[in-house]
Each structure stands twice: as C-alpha cells, then as structure tokens.
C-alpha cells in the first residue's frame, strides 16, 4: 500500500505523486515526459523542485503560476509532503516530512551494496569495446585511461541492469603484426647466439621481444634459420601475438581490468570464410557499396593524389561527409572494411547497443563507423563512440619525458607500480572523457584534500573508524557491514534533525539518480564527482563535532542518538563503498 516502499527511490516516488496531483487538471493524453523532479541547487527551496507547471502550462491552457497553485493545492494533502511553495516562474518546491528521509536511509541499509541499482537497462545486451591496443608491445601509460574508462563504464551499465559484454578487438591482421613477427625473428636469431647488432629502422627495438625470441629458439632450435620469410613469418607472428596478448592481459590485471571477449581481426578472414568479403558483398547487393571515384582532399596540395576508381561504401547515405574506401590500391581491404565486418559480427551476436572506446586521434572515424553500424544492422543497432583524450603525465608539475624513438615509453605497469592501482583508476575517471587530463605522479600519492583519491577513501576510512570507536560503548555492534546495517535499521533515525545530517541524508538519496544519469550518458566520471561531494559533506559534519560536541556521532550516555547517527554513517559508508566499487577503487577501512 505504501507507494514509497514500492518505488525505487524518493525521486521516482515524488514524481509519481506530482503526476497524480497534476493529472486531474489536464487532458487525459497529456505527455508527462518532460516533467522532472530534482533536488534544487538552493536548499532554501526545499527538498524537491518540479518544473511540472511550467512544462504543462501550454497544454493545460493556464498560466504556469496558476497551474502551479492548482497542482500545489493537491500536493498539500499528500501524506509525505510537509510544505509546498510556488516560486519564480512556476516552480513547485516541496519540503518533505522528515520521516521520508529516514525511510530512504533505511532503504540504503537494507539494500547495502545493491542500493542504487537501477532497472533501466532491462537486461538488454550491450557490447563495450575498449583497450583494443595493438598486440605489438606492452601497454603504455596512454592506454590506461581508456582501459579504466571502459571498465568503469561496463561496471556502471551492469549496475543499471544491462547485460554487458566487455570486449577487446585484437588487431592481429595488419602489416604491423608482420613487423612484429620480423622483430621477433631477429630476437630469435639473437637467442641462438647470433650478434644482431643494432635493430634496423622499421622494426620494434624494445627488449620486451627478447623473451619471444627465446621462446622461439626453445621451441624450434635452429630450424628456422636461413629459411625464407614465407616459412617462418606465420610461426613467429603467432608466437609473438600470443605472448604480447598474455603480457597485455597481465598489465590489465594489474589495473584490475578484465574482459570477457577477445575478438581476433584475423578470425574474420580465417578458415576459408572471408567475412569481410561477405559483408562487402552483402552491402553491395543492397546498393550501399559501389565502384566510384572520390574527389581529392580540398585545401591540401595533394601532390601524390592519383585519381582512380575504387570500392566505396556509401556512408553519405547515413550521415557521413564523404563515401569511404574499402580497398587499398594493392587490392587488400582497408582497416575500415574489416571494422565493418567486425561490427556486423557484434550485431550478429545480438548486440543492439554498442559502445566503442577510442583514442582522441580517431575522432574523424566516428561518423563512418556509425554509418556502417546503421547499414549492417538495417538501422536496428546503435553505436556510441567515447573519445578518450590524452593523458599528460607530470611529476610535481613537470612533464615526464618519454622517447618513443628509442623504444622507451612509460609503461602502464611502471605507473601502477609507482602510485598504485586506486590512484590511477580514480584519477583517470575524475575528468570527463573528452577533456585532456593532467596526471601528476607526485600529487596522486599526496595525502591531502588536493588529492581526490585520498580524500574520498579517507572519508570511508573515517566512517569505519567511527564504528571502531563506537564499539567501546556498544560492544554488540557487528563488524561485518551487512550485519551492522541490519542492526542499525532499528535505530531511531527520525531523531536526526541537524541540518548537516539531513543534508547528508538527501545527498545519499541522490545516489540512484546519479547512477541512472551516468549510465544513460555513458559518463562514469559523474560518480567520481558525486563521491567527492559526499565525502566533502561528511568531512564537514565530522569537523562540526569538534566545535559542537553534541553533534558528534558517538554520544557517551545516549545510545539511542548514537545509533541513529551510526545509521547515517553506515549509509554514507555504504554508498561510498559501492560508488568506489563501480570505479574499481578500493574502500579502505583505515588509512594508516
């Protein structure tokens, strides 16, 4: 019977009540989709504000303020509404009875790690493709932002009830893996005792290929020496790719990133079944692939431009600027051609939602890929491409130099080893994906407010510390979070009346909204910012207990008040831990 218990959270509940209050005043088929219930920026405007009257005024044929008064009058009799105020152009500001917030906090304690889960995903399948670094060497620091982003986004979508597959596309078919094979072959000869001298220009110079050479030597002895490339290339390539992928997976594991599916580009054309050709033929049959000529690029002098007829995909039919070539001049497929076949495979595997996480230099590629997804799926599937901007690696404000030419780059492993997984992950998510990120190795291990990783983790540890201290007074307070939460559900939360406490209860209650908004927008950074704000408010309330002892969480001769406040702390700790878990960052019990 209690509507609040049925709905997912207070915001959804209040929205229902606003609709209920407005419906009798409107035509039966009124569209409520633009009606929002939000926490107002200014707390003096109450707990909730709705734009209902302003959005619906036109349909109702009334002035916004008049309609607001009418809706407000109906809301005033609602049993969870304390106060209704009409403000500005027609906002309806609601103050809710305080038991509403106590109820919501109990819901947090009941839900534990599940609080904030959403059902908006409806178990729909979504494919999140990320990292997809070429298997030609270890992961370097530039890869880790996309890795962390994709991983956190996948966590978030899972939490919002999508059926998520985390995928890695292995570019094991292009010319660069042949270069890898030749580089490994050279290391193979070296492993057999040959002096290979300087690594020639055009081959990968890094030492990380030595183990591949040694493995080849151990496996094949001298059998491959002096043979033509055609006899060893495949062998060296397969070995090198397998070993590089193993290294990459180990690097990703160090970041706590794991993926479900590793899709090989080579598999598209292997086994006598050329799926790239098949995809192109299919599109050609539908008139979306044709032989034609492209205009030369404008602006540039285009000296080596050679006008020729080629195989083109009609991406302009799907919103792209020009049609895109599918074959190189030597008759092989372009990367785009295999990418179309690859995305078709995602569609064939049942994914109607695809998310690709790409580096910033691929921005110009988005439209054609979205066009291709529309084409191969007959408009049924959608592709969102998240562009991950560069990371500027700094140390105490100074850029960290790296020379790719000398084969020296900062590896992902080095960074994780130096500052820790949590710092890397949190900082990579503490910026919108399309903004350049400064990553300062010195700053992220600082233990200060300047370092958001520390600041948020510290809030969690502080909360846990309260429980440790409270146990002196309440010896039966359980250590395990779930049992403790169960016990604290019985606390008299209604007696919490300080504005800081109430404000924290509202902040906690906003978590499900943040989850949904972040999931819909594919923006995990919103969780990081939310956690920072929650931590900040908790630190503030904590310190107020210094000046005002009656506001401390633990009140020596008042177990009832103490329990009520511990319930609040439990709510804070629960949401902090679950938000951090979505980001893949640990929630420590203490910071020492």
Partner RNA sequence: GACCCCGUAGCUCAGUUGGAUAGAGCAUCAGCCUUCUAAGCUGAGGGUCGCAGGUUCGAAUCCUGCCGGGGUCGCCA
Find the binding residues for RNA in span 299-358 (CB under 7 A).
299-300, 302, 304-308, 310, 321, 325, 328-330, 334-336
Q: Which stretch binds RNA (CB under 7 A): 146-154, 233-241, 442-450, 481-489?
A: 442-450
| Position 366 contacts RNA (CB under 7 A) | yes
Give the residue among 182, 183, 339, 172 at the shortest CA–CA distance from 242. Answer: 172
Cβ-based nearer residue to RNA, 366 or 486: 366
Cβ-based nearer residue to RNA, 27 or 223: 27
Q: Which stretch binds RNA (CB under 7 A): 154-162, 232-240, 363-371, 410-418?
A: 363-371
Instruction: Please give the order of strands across the beta sheet that includes 289-292.
Output: 289-292, 310-313, 324-325
Cβ-based nearer residue to RNA, 217 or 369: 369
| Position 387 contacts RNA (CB under 7 A) | yes
Minimum distance, C-beta of residue 66 to RNA, in the bound complex (Å): 13
| Position 476 contacts RNA (CB under 7 A) | no
Kindly list the distances between the CA atom of residue 577 and the CA atoms of 47, 370, 460, 522, in Å, as whole numbers in the listed order.
25, 36, 7, 21
Cβ-based nearer residue to RNA, 478 or 545: 545
Cβ-based nearer residue to RNA, 281 or 590: 590
Q: Are 61 and 80 in contact (CB under 8 A)?
A: no
Cβ-based nearer residue to RNA, 209 or 518: 518
| Position 383 contacts RNA (CB under 7 A) | no
Among 122, 404, 405, 546, binds RNA (CB under 7 A): 546
Minimum distance, C-beta of residue 591 to RNA, in the bound complex (Å): 4
Kindly list the distances between the CA atom of residue 549 and the CA atoms of 358, 413, 500, 544, 556, in Å, as whole numbers in the listed order.
52, 47, 14, 8, 11
| Position 400 contacts RNA (CB under 7 A) | no
Cβ-based nearer residue to RNA, 298 or 401: 298
Question: H helices within 23-140, ranges in order?
Answer: 52-60, 64-76, 98-111
Sort strands 382-388 and 353-359 into parallel, antiparallel or unpaired.
Answer: parallel
Cβ-based nearer residue to RNA, 329 or 557: 329
Q: Contacts with RNA in 554-583 (CB under 7 A)? A: 554
| Position 471 contacts RNA (CB under 7 A) | no
3-state secondary structure of 200: coil
Minimum distance, C-beta of residue 116 to RNA, in the bound complex (Å): 14
* Sign for the pseudo-dihedral over CA of 14, 19, 22, 24: negative
DSSP 230-281: HHHHHHHHHHHHHHHHHHHHHHHHHTT---SEEEESGGGT-TT--HHHHHHH
Among 10, 22, 60, 64, binds RNA (CB under 7 A): 64
Minimum distance, C-beta of residue 146 to RNA, in the bound complex (Å): 13
Minimum distance, C-beta of residue 108 to RNA, in the bound complex (Å): 18
| Position 229 contacts RNA (CB under 7 A) | no
Strands (E) located in 398-474? 398-399, 437-440
Phi, psi of 332 (to 5 degrees): -85, 165
| Position 455 contacts RNA (CB under 7 A) | yes
Cβ-based nearer residue to RNA, 52 or 217: 52
Tokens of 129: 């493709």
Q: Contacts with RNA in 484-513 (CB under 7 A)? A: 513
Q: Are 376 and 337 in contact (CB under 8 A)?
A: no
Cβ-based nearer residue to RNA, 192 or 445: 445
Q: Are 189 and 150 in contact (CB under 8 A)?
A: no
Kindly list the distances between the CA atom of residue 160 and the CA atoms of 36, 146, 265, 533, 570, in Å, as whole numbers in the listed order.
20, 21, 30, 22, 23
Q: Contacts with RNA in 92-111 (CB under 7 A)? A: 93
Give the residue among 233, 102, 226, 231 at the shortest CA–CA distance from 175. Answer: 233
Among 150, 415, 553, 564, binds RNA (CB under 7 A): 553
Q: Are 518 and 386 in contact (CB under 8 A)?
A: no
| Position 88 contacts RNA (CB under 7 A) | yes
Of the CA atoms within 13 Å of residue 274, those in its CB half-sphere come to: 10
Size of the site for RNA (CB under 7 A): 100
Minimum distance, C-beta of residue 142 to RNA, in the bound complex (Å): 13
Give the residue among 141, 135, 130 at the shortest CA–CA distance from 254. Answer: 141
Q: Contacts with RNA in 10-49 (CB under 7 A)? A: 36, 38-42, 45, 49
Minimum distance, C-beta of residue 53 to RNA, in the bound complex (Å): 9
| Position 168 contacts RNA (CB under 7 A) | no
Strands (E) located in 293-345? 310-313, 324-325
Among 223, 291, 469, 479, binds RNA (CB under 7 A): 469
């Amino acid at each position: 019977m209690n509507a609040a218990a049925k709905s997912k959270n207070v915001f959804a509940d209040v929205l229902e009540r606003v609709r209920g209050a407005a419906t009798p005043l409107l035509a039966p088929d009124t569209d409520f989709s633009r009606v929002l219930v939000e926490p107002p920026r200014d707390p003096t405007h109450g707990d909730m504000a709705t734009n209902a009257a302003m959005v619906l005024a036109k349909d109702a044929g009334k002035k916004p303020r008049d309609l607001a008064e009418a809706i407000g009058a109906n809301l005033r009799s609602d049993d969870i509404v304390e106060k209704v105020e009409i403000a500005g152009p027609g906002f309806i500001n609601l103050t809710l009875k305080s038991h509403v917030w106590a109820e919501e906090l109990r819901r947090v304690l009941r839900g534990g790690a599940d609080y904030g889960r959403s059902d908006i995903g409806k178990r729909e399948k979504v494919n999140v493709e990320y990292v997809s670094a070429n298997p030609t060497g270890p992961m370097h620091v530039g890869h880790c932002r996309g890795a962390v982003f994709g991983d956190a986004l996948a966590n978030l979508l899972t939490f919002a009830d999508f059926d998520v597959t985390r995928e890695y596309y292995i570019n094991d078919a292009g010319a660069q893996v042949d270069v890898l094979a030749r580089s490994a072959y050279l290391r193979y000869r070296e492993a057999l005792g040959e002096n290979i001298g300087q690594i020639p220009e055009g081959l990968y110079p890094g030492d990380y290929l030595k183990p591949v050479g040694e493995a080849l030597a151990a496996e094949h002895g001298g059998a491959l020496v002096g043979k033509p490339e055609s006899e060893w290339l495949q062998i060296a390539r397969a070995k090198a790719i397998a070993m590089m992928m193993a290294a990459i997976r180990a690097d990703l594991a160090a970041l706590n990133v794991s993926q479900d599916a590793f899709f090989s580009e080579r598999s598209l054309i292997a086994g006598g079944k050329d799926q790239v050709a098949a995809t192109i033929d299919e599109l050609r049959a539908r008139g979306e692939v044709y032989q034609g000529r492209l205009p030369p690029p404008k602006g540039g002098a285009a000296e080596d431009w050679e006008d020729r007829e080629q195989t083109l995909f009609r991406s302009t039919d799907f919103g792209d600027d020009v049609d895109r070539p599918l074959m190189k001049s030597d008759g092989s497929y372009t990367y785009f051609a295999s990418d179309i076949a690859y995305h078709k495979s995602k569609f064939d595997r049942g994914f109607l939602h695809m998310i690709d996480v790409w580096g910033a230099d691929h921005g110009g590629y988005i439209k054609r890929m979205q066009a291709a997804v529309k084409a191969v799926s007959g408009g049924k599937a959608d592709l969102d491409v998240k562009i991950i901007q560069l990371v500027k690696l700094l140390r105490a404000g100074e850029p960290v130099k790296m020379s790719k030419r000398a084969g020296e780059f900062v590896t992902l492993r080095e960074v994780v080893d130096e500052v820790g997984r949590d710092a890397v992950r949190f900082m990579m998510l503490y910026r919108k994906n399309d903004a350049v990120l400064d990553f300062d190795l010195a700053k992220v291990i600082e233990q200060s407010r300047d370092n958001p990783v520390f600041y948020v983790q510290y809030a969690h540890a502080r909360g846990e510390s309260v429980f440790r201290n409270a146990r002196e007074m309440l010896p039966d307070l359980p250590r395990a979070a779930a049992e403790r939460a169960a016990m604290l559900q019985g606390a008299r939360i209604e007696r919490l009346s300080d504005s800081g406490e109430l404000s924290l209860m509202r902040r906690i209650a906003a978590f499900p909204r943040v989850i949904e908004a972040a999931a819909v927008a594919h923006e995990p950074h919103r969780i990081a910012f939310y956690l920072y704000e929650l931590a900040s408010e908790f630190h503030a309330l904590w310190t107020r207990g210094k000046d005002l002892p009656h506001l401390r969480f633990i009140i020596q001769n008042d177990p009832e008040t103490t329990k009520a406040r511990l319930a609040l702390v439990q709510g804070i700790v629960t949401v902090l831990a679950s938000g951090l878990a979505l980001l893949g960052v640990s929630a420590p019990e203490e910071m020492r």
